Structure 1
């Protein structure tokens, strides 16, 4: 039952910052995690070629009566994302606006509103903001054109001058406010998910194939007790695609070697699965839902506007998995319980910060803790089945820890992730 060696394969979302910034965040948050639970932790430097598609590091963690070693693989997409963000501004705006209105007229946007109004509001936000900036730019351009007319310049020249001012002011607003609004980044994200759902990103597909081969290789060669494929944000649907393709390469993937677990955090799978064209993607999810040799855990939070909550990733996308469905186990997470009360009111309005809490250190001990999932001695499946015992294992005194180990060895509080088939989604409440 005790994990001594774990292998994490981390699938980031659509984030251009990439390896360097993620590793710095990981190292900082690991230190906070160690202080919170009074654990000894060390982390190595990333290894791998500078321009490689994967980077790896290892973590050693020691607690009362246990020690774990974690191999951590970071799958890299930032070169592809940065290439998207290098598009001319006008091209990004035109493409994203066209996609948005296709979503509206096709009814897909209505499905977003029905599934989770906060997410639908979030993806509409850059378009509302663009309209606001365009109105201000038009006002300045009109004033400029009026001034030209007052100087005796009429007709085409005044109109051309006003148009030039409009373009210049709008472009300046977009670029100077991007670090605060993320407008162009969010529109690039919209373009990417549209292209991916319609099968128009062969560069991403090719890399997913290589990452699937990497997973198969790790599963066949690692002596770890479990392999956790973690997909955060858009990494949720990318991680699911990687695992589905790995199972296609090796149908016995989850039946030999380490236990395989897919962990999706703050997922937004409907931005792909709600498109009619994404039939292949939905079929892959159906296969994961009934695959008995792997586990899939999906963590969601009401406070995160960038994920869907509450949402069933299978039935919610119109996928009929039948009576053999066993995945995923849906885990609601309350961020109010992991953030200190004096910080929470400020925290809750920082939407990107909230979204990243799934993969950051807690401020308070809690059954959901990303770094305990990565570094702790309890297998992920048992952690989600017995959250109370898993928490007491690292927060209780000697007798309490002994009882927690016994509890974890005796069985689970919930059968949802224990391997039995269940046609309905299992919901494991934490906290």
Structure 2
């Protein structure tokens, strides 16, 4: 078997999930299953074993690719507890979130600006609003039907008391229907997505204190890894985890904690939704971090999205569209995972309308892989920078300033 370039023999990977309340074992099982599929397709070997070091949830990966072996430790930087605590347990509170979130995005002009980018994620943002309103209308309609039935049957016998009983029936049916819809949200995702967008909008783009504290912990963990004897430290931010990673890495580099003689520092943002936050009035912190990170030579930043992912701002340069591109901008390198080409027609047909599943395709196997392979990036023998050195950005990327708000934290 021919030998390949080997920059990496050992690697630390830190995966930052999006707004996800589920236990991180989900990501281990996804990596195990999809990694095995990709290894069979691409003719390399990939095996997982339990993580032996202290820290957050993770696993070890041993890979044999193109005649060389690489050891990788993957760690999930968990903030699912914060996500769970932010999810309201009451139906009325969710509808209040709906009103407040819609007012913030519409009243600030942010929604109109976002629509100049990609329609998909804007539709995804409007989906929970529309779906929750439809659920409310169905509940009220069925409740009204119950009111009519009760009053029609009992009014001749009970008079005005029938009206009271009808109102009780109306309320009871409406509440029961709304509760039923909430119980089925594992398939509908209306409550889940509403909580997601509400969490970003609640502070108008600023980070809540508990999230800032967790991000500071993550900064310490990554800084410690950069002092370890590995060849690459790779940070992956998926979905809303991408903007957390931006701020974490910007803090780390500003603090001078990316040693010049240390491991290669790499950042891979996947399916990012940065504009949903960076376009908000008080996202000064994130806009400053985007501005700073885009010109730093201490790292390589690659941003991968795909137009087939309706939940991401596909091929939107998160720095440029936020209006904070610095002089001498280096990052990110923006290109597409090309779902329609890297998935066979049969596979694409199966997945095309599974929007939530497609938002996770970046972490999965491709049956016709091109130059994006999540498992070669995370477990292969080449650094992210070397892998994509000289690769041009996608010609169809959007890299013009669109955000109304461009202020940055001092």
TM over 0.5: yes
- Is contact 1:145-1:161 (8 Å) kept? yes
1:239 aligns with 2:245: yes
SS in 2 for 1:310: coil
Question: Could you tell me how far apart the structure 2 residues matched to 1:339 and 1:78 are?
Answer: 30
1:165 aligns with 2:173: yes
Structure 1 gap segments, 5+ residues each: 386-411, 417-423, 426-431
Question: Could you tell me how far apart the structure 1 residues matched to 2:59 and 2:285 are?
Answer: 34
Alignment of 1:247-258 (within 5 A): 247-249=253-255, 251-253=256-258, 255-258=260-263
Q: CA deviation at 1:318?
A: 1.4
- The one of 253, 265, 271 equivalent to 2:270 is 265
Q: Which residue of 1 aligns with 2:408?
A: none
- The one of 220, 226, 232 equivalent to 2:227 is 220
Question: Could you tell me how far apart the structure 2 residues matched to 1:202 and 1:320 are?
Answer: 27
Question: Could you tell me how far apart the structure 2 residues matched to 1:104 and 1:141 are?
Answer: 31
Q: CA deviation at 1:200?
A: 5.3
1:295-317: per-residue Cα shift (whole Å, max 9, x none)? 21111100101111231211201
Question: Could you tell me how far apart the structure 2 residues matched to 1:29 and 1:381 are?
Answer: 24
1:306 aligns with 2:311: yes
Q: CA deviation at 1:64?
A: 3.2
Q: Which residue of 2 aligns with 1:229?
A: 235
SS in 1 for 2:61: strand
SS in 2 for 1:314: helix
Q: Which residue of 1 aligns with 2:201?
A: 194
1:272-325: per-residue Cα shift (whole Å, max 9, x none)? 100011111100110001112212111110010111123121120111412x21
TM-score, normalised on structure 2? 0.88
Q: CA deviation at 1:246?
A: 1.4
- Is contact 2:48-2:59 (8 Å) kept? yes
1:27 aligns with 2:32: yes
Alignment of 1:279-290 (within 5 A): 279-290=284-295
Question: Could you tell me how far apart the structure 2 residues matched to 1:276 and 1:413 are?
Answer: 35
Question: Could you tell me how far apart the structure 2 residues matched to 1:366 and 1:413 are?
Answer: 13
SS in 2 for 1:368: coil
Structure 1 pair 318/413, CA: closer, same or farther in 2 (3 Å)? Answer: closer
Q: Which residue of 2 aligns with 1:180?
A: 187
Structure having the higher helix fraction is 1
SS in 2 for 1:44: strand
Count of residue pairs the alignment pairs up: 384
Q: CA deviation at 1:196?
A: 5.8
- Is contact 2:226-2:262 (8 Å) kept? yes
- The one of 12, 28, 32 equivalent to 2:17 is 12
- Is contact 2:62-2:71 (8 Å) kept? yes
Q: CA deviation at 1:47?
A: 4.6
SS in 2 for 1:190: helix
Structure 2 gap segments, 5+ residues each: 394-398, 401-410
- Is contact 1:4-1:68 (8 Å) kept? yes
Q: Which residue of 1 aligns with 2:404?
A: none
- Is contact 1:138-1:166 (8 Å) kept? yes
- The one of 197, 206, 211 equivalent to 2:218 is 211
1:237-275: per-residue Cα shift (whole Å, max 9, x none)? 0111111121233x2515230111111000000111000
- Is contact 1:47-1:55 (8 Å) kept? no
Q: Which residue of 2 aligns with 1:110?
A: 112
RMSD: 2.0
Q: Relative to structure 2, which stretch is displaced further, 188-197 or 336-345?
A: 188-197
Q: Relative to structure 2, which stretch is displaced further, 105-114 or 119-128?
A: 105-114
Q: Relative to structure 2, which stretch is displaced further, 100-109 or 265-274?
A: 100-109
Q: Which residue of 1 aligns with 2:339?
A: 335
1:92-114: per-residue Cα shift (whole Å, max 9, x none)? 22123321132112211111211
